Amino acid sequence: MPTIEHHLLTGAFIHEPKGADTADDGKIYVADGLGSGTWTYSPTGWGYYKDDASAQVVSTSAVKLSIDGAGGTSESSYLPKDIRGTSELWDTTTDDITPVAVGDAYDIRLDLPVTAKSGSPTLITLQLDIGATGAASTVIVERDIATSKTPPYVISVGFPIFCGPTFLANGGQFFLSTDTGTVDITKPAIAIVRNHGEI
């Protein structure tokens, strides 16, 4: 039998990467720069959570946004594989973003269906807070959103965020308030896309 140098092998003669025979479905091989590596899941994935409760009234006093995830279009089948089936990106009990790890980056989209207004509000202030208290104390994102249209209509707000130690420990909660009067938000939703994580 002829001897063939390993570096000259091609096609079907090339073997799978080390450990491929025991690696779980969906894992990728990540080199460690030292001549070896490990099998791990891609950190990316997404979840969508739709509320199915009655209207939430937003006034000049900030109120925490609730999304119970009971809406029929909620979707957790495409969460990052390292948490799929064991955790979520949104806690439907505490109404918090629940990031996976320090260093993560996420894209957020909030859908806020405005179903009624009173007292002529002109804007809603949205705050993303990581202070883990009953009121906004450590705000990392703030947006003023015009409310000039006639209900019903949907406000969609999107932005990127990243996760540090405080965010990981406390999660992220949304607070809404108006400049004057009230706005009814009915069946809001949140999409959370984990687009970066350490591997």
Q: Range of 11's domain? A: 6-41
50 and 13 share a domain? Answer: no
Given a cut of 80, whether residue 12 has pLDDT beyond it is no
Query: Mean pLDDT over all residues of the chain?
Result: 91
End-to-end CA distance of the chain: 42
56 and 106 share a domain? Answer: yes
Average pLDDT over residues 73-86: 96
Where residue 74 sits, what CATH number does that domain have?
2.60.120.1120
36 and 51 share a domain? Answer: no
The predicted model scores a pTM of 0.87
pLDDT band at 32 (very low <50, low <70, confident <90, very high): confident
Per-residue pLDDT tens digits for 90-114: 999 999 999 999 999 999 999 999 9
In a domain, 1, yes or no: no
Given a cut of 80, whether residue 26 has pLDDT beyond it is no
Average pLDDT over residues 177-185: 98
Per-residue pLDDT tens digits for 169-179: 999 999 999 99
pLDDT band at 36 (very low <50, low <70, confident <90, very high): confident
28 and 100 share a domain? Answer: no
Distance CA 128, CA 118 (A): 25
